[in-house]
Amino acid sequence: MTTTEPAAAQDRASSESAQAAALHTGISDPRTLITRNLRQSGIYVAFVLIIGLFAILTDGVLLSPDNLTNIVLQYSYILVLAIGMVIVIIAGHIDLSVGSVVALTGAVSAVLVIQQDYPWWVGILAAVVVGMAVGAWQGFWVAYVGIPAFIVTLAGMLLFRGLTLQVLNNISLSPFPEEYTRVATGFLNGLLGGQGYDAFTLVIAAIAVGGYAVSGFRTRLARIRYQQPVESFPLFVAKVLVVGAVVMYFAWQLAHARGLPIVLIILAALVLVYGVITRRTVFGRQVYAIGGNLSAATLSGVKVKKVNFWIFVNMGFLAGVAGVIYSSRTSGAQPGAGNMFELDAIAAAFIGGAAVAGGVGTVMGAVVGGLIMAVMSNGMQLMGVDQSTQSVVKGLVLLAAVAFDIYNKRRAGATR
């Protein structure tokens, strides 16, 4: 027997023991699991409670097939911006310019497609490229010149809004061709048939639930292998069943409306990709390191300037994607497009558990934070609440989220 064979046998035995342990070990008290990571678990509990509250207040209209579809279509671009914004915030920065960048990228696309008759896909590519160029411009000033991101992006908010006005010549352009508008308003329906519902939507949702279960079990195995705390196996199964039931209910409602929105596929792909980038890549770990302790990250060899530069390039890329989605949904470009989008994206990140000082936050948390804002806005609209009251409620929710973050920090410091 070679020397590598005992090692391989030992690895197999370790893997088998971890799998056996995954079925029989873990924390069985749900309250302990929630309080162990209050920042993240609290936001999911709050999300469920808010949905339940507005479902009752709107007599179930909130969860109707057509309304759920409208929520996806109306707030998708904010969720795309929130994905990029949470990465910026994790690194200890802020970006106040994304609303203006959304307007600029949509304007460039409109000029090319509507005024100059370029193909629809040229407009999409141009919007994304312009967004990345904007991100590179701001990343240069932040990373290599050393100007704080707050100042750079505040200047960018004014600069790119002015460029939008110049590109559009102070007028609105519309409409986009049908192929372009399908990005944000199109549906995949009838690919696999179904009588009164779209079977394709249900199949995709079932695949997503299966992927979630497999990924969760593998993560559980890894945590047990490294002797980290996990929930008990019955609680893990219960969590998968609850998530699966929620996803399938959501899919069932979509399947009975207009099918699977194309923009939801785009959003899901971005969530998956950026979830992997932030959790399982060197770049993602470096972003957390920079936001958590800049000096330690520098001393450990992290190329801080390079990482910060690409953080803003990435934000510009996602702003370009959001610009395409927004202009596609409105079938045009307006000088005032994207107004206040940056605040919605920032609010989504903080409500979703990002820390004000950086170093903490998740892509999924930011998306859930954005969905909380979306459900509140949609629910209050269904109830006929005026816009001023909606702004007051959103402001109070954001303030409560940041106060909750500060409470968590003090609570963690007191237990040490």
Give the tens place of pLDDT for each residue, 217-268.
888 888 888 887 777 778 788 888 888 888 888 888 888 887 889 999 999 9
Q: What are 133-163's pLDDT values in tens digits?
A: 999 999 999 999 999 999 999 999 999 999 9
Q: Three-class SS string for 186-229?
A: CEECCCCCCCCCCHHHHHHHHHHHHHHHHHHHHHHHHHHHCCCC
Question: For 357, which DSSP code?
Answer: T
Residue 1 has pLDDT above 70, yes or no: no
The answer to whether the beta carbons of residues 257 and 264 sit under 8 Å apart is: no
The answer to whether the beta carbons of residues 269 and 83 sit under 8 Å apart is: no
- Mean pLDDT of the region 374-397: 89
Residue 78 has pLDDT above 60, yes or no: yes
The answer to whether the beta carbons of residues 160 and 97 sit under 8 Å apart is: yes
- DSSP labels, 6-42: HHHHHHHHHHHHHHHHHHH-SB--HHHHHHHTHHHHH
Q: What is the mean pLDDT of the chain?
A: 86
Residue 209 has pLDDT above 70, yes or no: yes
Q: Can the peptide bond before residue 229 be classed as cis, meaning omega within 30 degrees of 0?
A: no
Residue 125 has pLDDT above 70, yes or no: yes
Domains plus CATH for the chain?
A: 44-186+261-381 (1.10.3470), 188-260 (no CATH)
| Least confident interval from 60-74, 295-309, 335-349 | 60-74
Residue 23 has pLDDT above 80, yes or no: no
- Mean pLDDT of the region 297-309: 94
The residues, any chain, with a CB within 8 Å of residue 177's CB and separated by 6 or more, are 113, 120
Residue 22 has pLDDT above 50, yes or no: no
Cα–Cα distance measured from residue 140 to residue 142, given in angstroms and rounded to the nearest whole number: 6
Q: What are 262-293's pLDDT values in tens digits?
A: 999 999 999 999 999 998 899 999 999 999 99
Cα–Cα distance measured from residue 133 to residue 163, given in angstroms and rounded to the nearest whole number: 14
Q: What is the CA radius of gyration of the chain?
A: 23
Question: For 260, which DSSP code?
Answer: E
